[in-house]
Amino acid sequence: MTAGLPPPPGPDPAPPAGDGGGGSAGARLDVRDLEIRIGASGPDVVSGICFEVPAGEVLGLVGESGSGKTTVALALLGHARRGLRISGGEVRLDGTDLLQLPAGDLRALRGARVAYVPQDPAAALNPTLRVGTQLREALKVHPGVVDDPGGRVLEVMREVSLDPTPEMLRRYPHQLSGGQQQRIGLAMAFCCRPSLIVLDEPTTGLDVSTQRHVLDTVRSLCRSYGVAAVYVSHDLAVVGGLVAEVAVMYAGRIVEIGATAKVFGEPLHPYTRGLLAAVPSPQRAEVLTGIDGQPPRPGRRGPGCSFASRCGFAVSACLARPPEPVLIDGRAVRCIRVTQIRSADTGRPAAVTAPSAGGPAATLSLRSVSARYGRAQVLSGVELDVQPESCVAVVGESGSGKTTLARCIVGLHSNWTGEITFDGGRLVPGARDRPKETLRRVQYIFQNPYTSLNPRKTVGQIVAQPLEQLLGLPYRERAERAARVLEDVSLGSDFAGRYPDQLSGGERQRVAIARALVVGPDLLVCDEVTSALDVSVQAVIVEELRRLQRERHLAMIFITHNLALVRSIAQSAVVLRDGAVVEAGPVEQILEHPADPYTIRLIADVPKLAAPGPQQEAGGAAAAGAAAP
Amino acid sequence: MGRHPWLSVLWTAARTPRGAAGLALASVIVLIAVAGPFVASKPPDALLTLPFAKPSGQFPLGGDFLGRDVLSRVLNGGWALLLMALAATTIGIAIGAAAGMSAAYLRGRSDSLIMRTVDVILAFPQLVFALLLVSLLGPKLWLIVLAVGLTHAPAVARVIRSATLDVSERDYVKVVELQGMRPVKVMTSEILPNLISPLMVEAGLRLTYSIVIMAGLAFLGFGQAPPAANWGLMINENRSGLPLNPWAVIVPAVLIALLTIGTNTFTDAIARVTIGVDRRPEEAVLLDELTPGQPR
Amino acid sequence: MAIATAPAERAVPGRNEHPLLVLTARRLAIGVLTLFLVSVIVFLATEVLPGNAAFAVLGRSANPARLHALERQLHLDQSVLAQYWTWLSGLFTGKLGTSLANGEPVWGLVEPRLINSAVLVFAAGLFGAVVGVALGAIAALRKDSVFDHVSSVAALTVTSLPEFVVAITLIILFSTVVSHLLPAVSLLPPGTYAWSQPELLILPVATLVIVIVPYIFRMMRAAMIEALESDYVEMARLKGVPEWRIVLVHALPNAIAPTIQVIGLNFLYLAGGVVVVEYVFNFPGIGQALVFAVNNRDIPVIQFIVVALAAFYVVMNIVTDVVALLVTPRRRIAR
């Protein structure tokens, strides 16, 4: 379905940007061999960064945490964070190397010729200054760049769809919504009509519809002003719909760079392939494959390719020297085995979906559940059924009440009315009033793995604790069961002696899962359990959950705002909006034939990535954003 | 972190430059205070020389306003101060932490009650409160200790309450609530271990203030009664003789100062260790880049 | 980088249209209540002593006639409640009773001392605040420089010192041992005002200033550094805002709010610190009066001074909170 999809980006599938080979004359931004180090002579954080962006074009810079993409983004303005130093390379804007400019000239350039749109607009706006002051400031510190600053302020506000009223300008940042704050950020960037804009994940944390709007605004502004732009993101689907060319970063280097259609359609670098295989698709229920392990930190990157230890194609030569970019098939790839990889298979197996259970009575039923926070109504008349051994996805945007729903079910929030029945018995509102047996059978996993584990306890203690509290088992048996469940979630039992701050995000979340499973529950409530994780880690965790659900015959409620994920894990879905259920049913039905206008809009606004496979060809312009059947 | 996080924090703090300096300084003075009475060669009460006699071979620090040996009095004048300060600190921390944690975890009416009481006590300057009690019941030493301890409690309660509120909102506390854990056990087993840093910092600060206040009260005459040797008292007693023999004032003053500087510096080192201020910028950068999802 | 975290669902708080008014009203109410409680406690503590108050005061010179007279003077022959009421209403009407030490009316005794102490407190407080803020800002701007390291260590050292040690040190340096520039002890007769001999103010004020500046310095420095390393300052730099504007317009307003809290706390501290300092310098203020009164068991004086100090505390707390609120738009203006 094509309703509401973005028009294909770019006038044509762009010729390869390649690496530093002379550079086209029309390139606005030309980056060569950019290198950034820690301190005066520490290990490098990023190196060998080369790319070009012509006027009017947007380049996507994608990567996960630790890839260095924000560091590169800031360097495009000649800025390095505290402790880092730009140690080599060139950043040429219309021919002038920013890195060589004296401080005064660089300052004059920032904001006027090259502008930055921040990731976290709430933090990037000064809480003690009015929004209008901060917006006008962008013009004030660059006198003469724009003829009519007063008029320009109103004009740019209109361009980003904000009310150009004095009342809006008099507000303080905390009086604006997240979307409005981000639009102010955009306005500040565009008001001096710069030649280059650097956008650092500008849509993180925004609602899908706001996100869509922001992306459209960015695209049209770039096009109409002939501005070159670099769009940094971890979200491949968002980037896929926006940019004509994309660079994939890993461990401080660009591992693959080329036309979006090619890079996402036929990824060649093993990391890119792994990344794309981890991105969930709303179009099909597929097995997600993540990438085990973690990227090496600066200073711990060995002599060879940084990805080798996690790479399925690695050979001994990969560990000897960092690979140089190889020009192939219209792009540059840093991999010595790229020709062999090209012929390898890329598809993902379709998931075996659990049979939607008919017959047996629902494990969990909600009828007319309404909840309040103080005086505010957060849920109204929610109805829900979870069949045994099946997974129900609860989908909604922020403020929809999905987390409150989860907390009511489990007893963390007790200000609700209605009926929640578990295995035939009614549940009382507060967890404190529930018998231990009930508490044991319904388990909850929190969103943030960094706050759900007590930093002063070892993994072993954390996982064994529910056995003591809910089952009263003796020490020896607790230790045994804890060790077994740790093996089950693919953590070795040697993890038992470690403390949470020694673990990565994915590992911590596995510990949280282990803790939930150790008591043998019947129902698992997962509250946005992958939202705080990288895409590749997310895929691993989702697959673990699926496997565990099958093996242990669990019923599961999976709460998420990510519609694409739903397909890969759930059999049925419930869409929440402002505390009420707008639509419910089997997943395929909801995603392919939505009935409610809200659902339709929600699905349409979700950025989609084309499925990897050989069907993306030179018909190409449309391919990058369109949903291929 | 190790099995004994309290010890590891102390150990880490002791190895920073400030921590080592503070610890060393405080230890030296404590040693003087504790071992002093055994080392003093002359009795501190005996009138052995002229009032405000200048230092000599026999009396290295000269004589005080009555002609007693200043050195012996100095060596005897610290242990009581130290003991009283420690006692007051312990009382203050114990009451304050218990009150603060309970107020935070129990919420509701208990919280309001406890915090209102705290506000009332905090409406008195510490010194004035101690003076008030002393004026009513006489300068009994146990009373002074109790009074000073009580005045610490509200400040400690406030800090611990706010730290507890912070911790009790964390998800891992909710996890154990879902396991049916009783409130008291939640506080001791889950929350308390995470209050180590604010507790240790408060303990250090309170100890420093206790010493300051005790010495101040002694200076004003509300401590050990004469002829006891007490550093604070000595400073006041010998003030009139400053032009003649300043050492009778300077030495006890310096000892008190060095002690409080030592404890305060070590407390500052502990605070830095637990807040991570000592982290080098490079490491902070690494952490920024590599911890997804963490609030910045 | 942040992954797409779904923003945490927050409960919609009750909308507060006028945070400023609400806060002030609430604080005033609590303040009045606190003062009331304090007055009750003070009264009970002083009047309802173990044993008879008059006896405790007269001590050995008690004989039935004197006891009786004193009891009548202290209204001890009335019921407790009536005594409290007499005292409390006396507070408001200015009839504070007479001092037991010298038979003078309490107000006459206390009024010039109150003013003198007020001069000390406010002079030290304001001067200390200005110096502390300035030094703190400079240290933050020159972070990790020699000035920064030296001033930070000096601040840490000075905060540890008891104020009588500071006072004695100043006396040694400026009055007796090292030099004789300034008078060590005030020879003002009680009842005169401090400004009649201004040089007597210098050392006491200097002592108090030295004692409070480090706290303000450290807070200002920390708050300024936090502001300078914040995301919004980074954003301003990326917009090309010149450094002077970043310091004055962006960083300073954000650093000032927590510093105001500390300044307020220090004013409170001064109320107690004044006691020791006045004693050392023989300065005719209420701190000195309190010490004398305690030594003489002069109950009416003690009562009044303690309540006056508590009132000062309460008012200062409210003022501090209100000013801090004014400086923080996020708390001052509702969403």
Which of B215, B246, B293 lies at the smallest CB-CB distance from C177? B246
**Helix or strand holding residue A377 (H, E):** strand A376-386
* Per-residue pLDDT, C62: 58
pLDDT classification of A321: cutoffs 50, 70, 90: confident
Residue A502 has pLDDT above 90, yes or no: no
**Helix or strand holding residue B285 (H, E):** helix B281-290
φ and ψ at residue A327, rounded to 5 degrees: -85, 120
- The overall longest dimension of chain A from CA atoms, in Å, is 78
CA–CA separation, C136 vs C155, rounded Å? 10
Query: Does residue B294 or residue A170 have the better pLDDT?
Result: A170
Residue A531 has pLDDT above 80, yes or no: yes
In angstroms, the first-to-last Cα distance of chain C is 28
Q: CB distance A42–B282 less than 8 Å?
A: yes
Q: In percent, how much of chain C has pLDDT > 90?
A: 24
Question: Which of A72, A81, A67, A84 has the alpha carbon at shortest distance from A33?
Answer: A72
* Per-residue pLDDT, C72: 66
- Percentages (nearest 5) of helix, strand, coil residues in chain A: 35, 20, 40
Average pLDDT over residues A547-558: 91
What is the side-by-side strand order in the sheet with A580-586? Answer: A442-445, A523-527, A555-560, A391-395, A572-577, A580-586
For chain B, say whether C44 makes contact (Cβ under 8 Å).
Answer: no
Residue C34 has pLDDT above 70, yes or no: yes
* Per-residue pLDDT, A614: 35
Across A97-106, A589-598, B16-25, B267-276, least confident range: B267-276
* Per-residue pLDDT, C151: 93
Find where tokens 């000897």 sit.
Answer: A320
Residue B2 has pLDDT above 60, yes or no: no
Average pLDDT over residues A467-489: 91
Q: What is the DSSP string of C169-204?
A: HHHHHHTSSS--SS-SS--PPTTS-GGGSTHHHHHH
Which of A120, A404, A533 lies at the smallest CB-CB distance from C3? A533
pLDDT tens figures, A52-106:
998 888 899 999 888 899 999 999 999 998 889 999 999 999 889 999 999 999 9
* Per-residue pLDDT, A234: 87
Q: Which of A454, A470, A498, A538 to mutate to test the interface with B (most CBs of B within 10 A)?
A: A454
Q: CB distance B293–A452 less than 8 Å?
A: no
Question: Which of A287, A425, A356 has the alpha carbon at shortest distance from A589?
Answer: A356
* Per-residue pLDDT, A281: 80
* Per-residue pLDDT, A352: 61
- Rama region for B138: left / alpha / beta (φ>0; ψ in -120 to 50; rest): left
* Per-residue pLDDT, A25: 44
Residue C67 has pLDDT above 70, yes or no: no
pLDDT classification of A46: cutoffs 50, 70, 90: very high
Q: CB distance B290–A123 less than 8 Å?
A: no
Average pLDDT over residues A39-53: 88
* Per-residue pLDDT, A623: 34
Residue A334 has pLDDT above 70, yes or no: yes
- Is A162:A184 a contact under the CB 8 Å cutoff? yes
CA–CA separation, A68 vs A72, rounded Å? 6
Q: CB distance A401–C5 less than 8 Å?
A: no
Find where tokens 């090292």 sit.
Answer: C178
**Residue A316: both structure tokens together:** 């001994």
For chain C, say whether A475 makes contact (Cβ under 8 Å).
Answer: no
- Is C327:C261 a contact under the CB 8 Å cutoff? no
Count chain A–chain B contacts defined by CB atoms under 8 A.
103
pLDDT classification of C48: cutoffs 50, 70, 90: low
* Per-residue pLDDT, B150: 87
* Per-residue pLDDT, A266: 87
* Per-residue pLDDT, C73: 64
- The residue of chain B with its CA nearest to that of A537 is B292
Residue A134 has pLDDT above 90, yes or no: yes
Query: Does residue A167 or residue C47 have the better pLDDT?
Result: A167
Average pLDDT over residues C158-178: 86
- The residue of chain C with its CA nearest to that of A561 is C6
Mean pLDDT, all residues of chain C:
79
Which of B170, B180, B290 lies at the smallest CB-CB distance from A439? B180
* Per-residue pLDDT, A625: 37
* Per-residue pLDDT, C2: 30
Query: Does residue A396 or residue A356 have the better pLDDT?
Result: A396
Q: How far is B290 from chain A (nearest CA, A)?
A: 5
Q: In percent, how much of chain A has pLDDT > 90?
A: 37
pLDDT tens figures, B56-110:
888 888 888 888 888 989 999 899 999 999 999 999 999 999 888 888 877 788 8
- Is A267:A552 a contact under the CB 8 Å cutoff? no
φ and ψ at residue A11, rounded to 5 degrees: -70, -25
Q: CB distance A469–B291 less than 8 Å?
A: no
Q: How far is A279 from chain C (nearest CA, A)?
A: 13
Q: How far is A234 from chain B (nearest CA, A)?
A: 11
How deeply is A357 buried, as exposed, middle or buried, from its count of CB atoms within 10 A (0-12, 13-18, 19+)?
Answer: middle
Q: What is the ipTM of this complex?
A: 0.81
Average pLDDT over residues A327-335: 86
For chain B, say whether C86 makes contact (Cβ under 8 Å).
Answer: no
* Chains in touch with C (≥3 Cβ pairs < 8 A): A, B
Residue C55 has pLDDT above 80, yes or no: no
Contact list, C8 vs chain A (CB under 8 Å): 403
Q: CB distance C276–B212 less than 8 Å?
A: no
pLDDT classification of A311: cutoffs 50, 70, 90: confident
Q: CB distance C309–B125 less than 8 Å?
A: yes
CA–CA separation, B120 vs C199, rounded Å? 38
Separation in Å, CA A88 to CA A45, A253, A404, A488: 12, 14, 50, 47
CB atoms within 10 A of CB A350: 10
- Is A111:A148 a contact under the CB 8 Å cutoff? no
Q: Residues 187-246, chain C: which have Cβ within 8 Å of B?
A: 231
SS3 C317: helix
Chain C residues touching chain A at CB-CB below 8 Å = 1-9, 11-14, 229-242, 245, 249-250, 253-254, 327-330, 333, 335
Contact list, B7 vs chain A (CB under 8 Å): none
Which of A81, A84, A297 lies at the smallest CB-CB distance from B290? A297
Average pLDDT over residues A552-570: 89
pLDDT classification of A313: cutoffs 50, 70, 90: confident
**Helix or strand holding residue A382 (H, E):** strand A376-386
pLDDT tens figures, B170-207:
899 999 989 988 888 888 888 888 888 888 888 998 99
Mean pLDDT, all residues of chain A:
84
Which of C2, C250, C330 lies at the smallest CB-CB distance from A204? C2
* Per-residue pLDDT, A277: 86
Q: What is the DSSP string of A438-476?
A: HHHHEEEE-S-TTTSS-TTS-HHHHHHHHIIIII---HH
Which of A110, A125, A234 lies at the smallest CB-CB distance from C240? A110
Contact list, C241 vs chain A (CB under 8 Å): 111, 137, 141
CB atoms within 10 A of CB C321: 17
Find where tokens 């260095």 sit.
Answer: A68
Find where tokens 């609700």 sit.
Answer: A416
- The residue of chain C with its CA nearest to that of B128 is C272
Question: Which of C287, C251, C43, C55 has the alpha carbon at shortest distance from C163?
Answer: C287
pLDDT tens figures, C235-294:
999 999 999 999 999 999 999 988 998 898 888 888 888 888 998 888 888 888 888 887
Q: How far is C246 from chain A (nearest CA, A)?
A: 11
Q: CB distance A110–C3 less than 8 Å?
A: no
Q: Which of B117, B126, B129, B131 to mutate to test the interface with C (most CBs of C within 10 A)?
A: B131
